[in-house]
Amino acid sequence: MSDSPVLWSLDERGVATVTLNRPEVNNAYDAGLIQGLLKAMDELGRQPQLRVVVLKGHGKHFQAGADLKWINSVRMQSPAANEAASQATFEAVQRLNRLPIPTVALVQGGCFGGGTGVVAACDVVIAADNAVFSITEVRWGLTAAIIIPQLCDAVGVRQVRRYALTGERFSAQDARRIGLVHEVVPLNELEAAGAKVVEQLLANAPEALAETKAQAMESSFGGMDVDDAAYARLVRMHAAKRQSAEAKEGLASFAEKRAADWRHGR
């Protein structure tokens, strides 16, 4: 398999498979993966036969959120560089959210932090029974600002207020209960379950699908354009928090494999 951080292919039916490809770090995202995802969406957008996008993670885990070593390196750069990193991350999730074609996420293993925002931005989410989820940002002195709208769309404000505040891990069955995923299947049936949904989508009229999705997005928390002022505010908040004393302590605790002392973040 190529060492590119994001791979994509398109079959004769117009079904694209986009694969997050950093298995050595559980597909944690860094600048390379973010830009790879944006590039993949640019290239797929130029394919007139595109009908469905299937999103997968290579290896044992779907997506482990941010690469905290990369986050820490960004934290020590200028405020402008931090805003640029947050803006790119936001654009990758929001462009996936607003694609005018159906998207299907197949989730195995860990799906943490930004990974939960990625699946919340997909139209259909199928999880293997070994999937584990967590909105982890608060554990490291960060916030999930730029994915909160997509999460609110997927699971509702009440559930976000629990899981984004506790940072706790929850199972695939709990993810289904709160609405983050639609279906849970045995790991060895994940591909087949995804293929079944793809066939159902391909049976439907492409323009009707695009119009239906656009209409649904009009009523969503996460339906804003990438240049919307409300999102600009979330990007600024996300970037500023990365440079806070709490983030410094949280990321240090991760690197040093110890519990964070939040008195250092006050």
Full strand arrangement of the beta sheet holding 52-57: 6-10, 15-20, 52-57, 103-107, 124-128, 183-185
pLDDT (tens digit, 9 = 90+) per residue, 182-228?
999 999 999 999 999 999 999 999 999 999 999 998 877 766 665 67
Q: Is 31 helix (H, G, I), strand (E, B) or coil?
A: helix
Cβ-contact 86, 238 below 8 angstroms: yes
112-146: burial string, b at 16+ Cβ within 10 Å, e else: bbbbbbbbbbbbbbbbbebbbbbbbbebbbbbbbb
Q: What is the pLDDT of residue 1?
A: 63
Q: What is the pLDDT of residue 264?
A: 57
Average of per-residue pLDDT across 239-260: 91
pLDDT surpasses 60 at 42: yes
Average of per-residue pLDDT across 106-135: 97
pLDDT (tens digit, 9 = 90+) per residue, 60-107?
999 999 999 999 999 999 999 999 999 999 999 999 999 999 999 999
Q: What is the pLDDT of residue 220?
A: 78
H or E stretch at 16: strand 15-20
Q: What is the pLDDT of residue 224?
A: 61
pLDDT (tens digit, 9 = 90+) per residue, 135-159?
999 999 999 999 999 999 999 999 9
Q: What is the pLDDT of residue 35?
A: 96
Alpha carbons 34 and 86: distance in angstroms, whole number: 10
pLDDT surpasses 70 at 176: yes
Residue 231 pLDDT level (bands cut at 50, 70, 90) = confident
Percentage above 70 pLDDT, the chain: 96
Q: What is the pLDDT of residue 40?
A: 94
CA distances from residue 257 to 22, 134, 250, 253 in whole angstroms, order as listed: 22, 19, 10, 6
Q: What is the pLDDT of residue 36?
A: 95
What is the pTM (predicted TM-score) of this model?
A: 0.93
